[in-house]
Amino acid sequence: MFSNYLIGLREGLEASLVVCILVAYLVKTGHKDKLAPLWAGVGLAAAVSLGFGAALEFGTQELTFQAQEAIGGSLSIIAVGLVTWMVFWMKRTARHLKSELHGKLDAALAMGTGALVFTAFLAVGREGLETSLFVWRSVKAAGDGAAPLVGVLLGIASAIALGWLFYRGALKINLAKFFKWTGGMLVVVAAGVLAYGVHDLQEADFLPGLANKAFDVSESVPPDSWYGTLLKGTFNFQPDPTWLQVVVWVLYLVPTLFLFFAPQRAGRPAAPSAPAAPAATDRS
């Protein structure tokens, strides 16, 4: 449940902050009349994201077992790829997110209402579609009834509350640090989803080695025990993974965490500014 709460919190807060920045900019620049198209774009993005999640859930139920596993495993890999790209993108842009959004909003305001709706839809819809796909695969991997979904909803609710406090000025968030550490934890979650996807593809006979178990600690860590449930819900831990799952998990997790936490290269030094004019002296 914790890993799904983290997904809902991190992805929800990213979308929530985007909306807060857009709303605050329109209000401060005297464009309150443009808030309706902005909210229309946000609502459209939310509806599309929910529809995408529903299509994933209900659209695969009538398929054969092998087809379900093949589609599920493939979507797991796609979801991990999208989330990995997203955490690295946010690591680079968290410090400049506000100025980047302001530039896009200025262009949309110049083009008219339709462009504003489209800008809001893109800004929120991208996060929503990524979240729907990753949450769907993570919930499937956790396989613990409604608890993973409850965790996601609690995370999204927390994100909305934090976004509102951020907008009201009651909360200051160091975006760079927040997205750095939650991004690192999300990489660990993604590694578990990737291993689960590989297992799906093995069950669909797309990948070999389903019977080649790396280890089996089911007796020491029963899946239905409280600690087995905790490990599975937090890290997507499987007590009897195949060798291929273990290899893929390690090959993804170790280099991705290393690159993610590696210090960013320093940018080009800023051009020297002209010397400031001497302050006027008070001769009175």
- At 214, is the pLDDT very low, low, confident or very high (cuts 50, 70, 90)? very high
Task: Specify the amino acid at residue 9.
Answer: L
Unique residue bearing structure tokens 């689960």 = 196
- Kindly state the percentage of the chain with pLDDT values over 70: 73
| Averaged confidence pLDDT in the chain | 76
Q: Are 87 and 79 in contact (CB under 8 A)?
A: no
The answer to whether 128 and 152 are in contact (CB under 8 A) is no
- The predicted pLDDT at position 282 comes to 44
**pLDDT per residue as tens digits for the range 101-160:** 666 666 766 666 677 777 777 777 777 777 777 777 766 666 655 666 777 788 888 888
CA distance 194 to 198: 6
pLDDT computed for residue 259 by the predictor: 92
- Give the model confidence (pLDDT) of 2-27 as tens digits: 666 777 787 777 778 778 877 877 77
Q: Which two tokens stand for residue 203?
A: 């069950």
Cβ-based neighbour number of residue 249 at 10 Å: 21
Q: Which residue's structure tokens are 């080695």?
A: 209
Give the pLDDT confidence score for residue 190 in this predicted structure: 86
Residues of the chain with pLDDT > 90, as a percent, come to 10
Please give the Cα distance from 274 to 106 (Å, whole number).
Answer: 29
pLDDT digits (tens, 9 = 90+) for 56-110: 767 766 677 788 888 888 888 888 888 888 788 777 766 666 666 666 666 766 6
pLDDT for the residue 109: 64
Say which amino acid occupies 77. Answer: I
| Cα angle 192, 138, 89; round to 5 | 80
Output DSSP code: residue 205: T
Please tell me which of 140-144, 161-165, 205-209 the model is most confident about, judged by mean pLDDT: 205-209
Spatial neighbors of 109 by CB under 8 A, at least 6 apart, are 31, 34, 115, 116
At residue 274, the pLDDT reads 39
Q: What is the pLDDT of residue 166?
A: 77
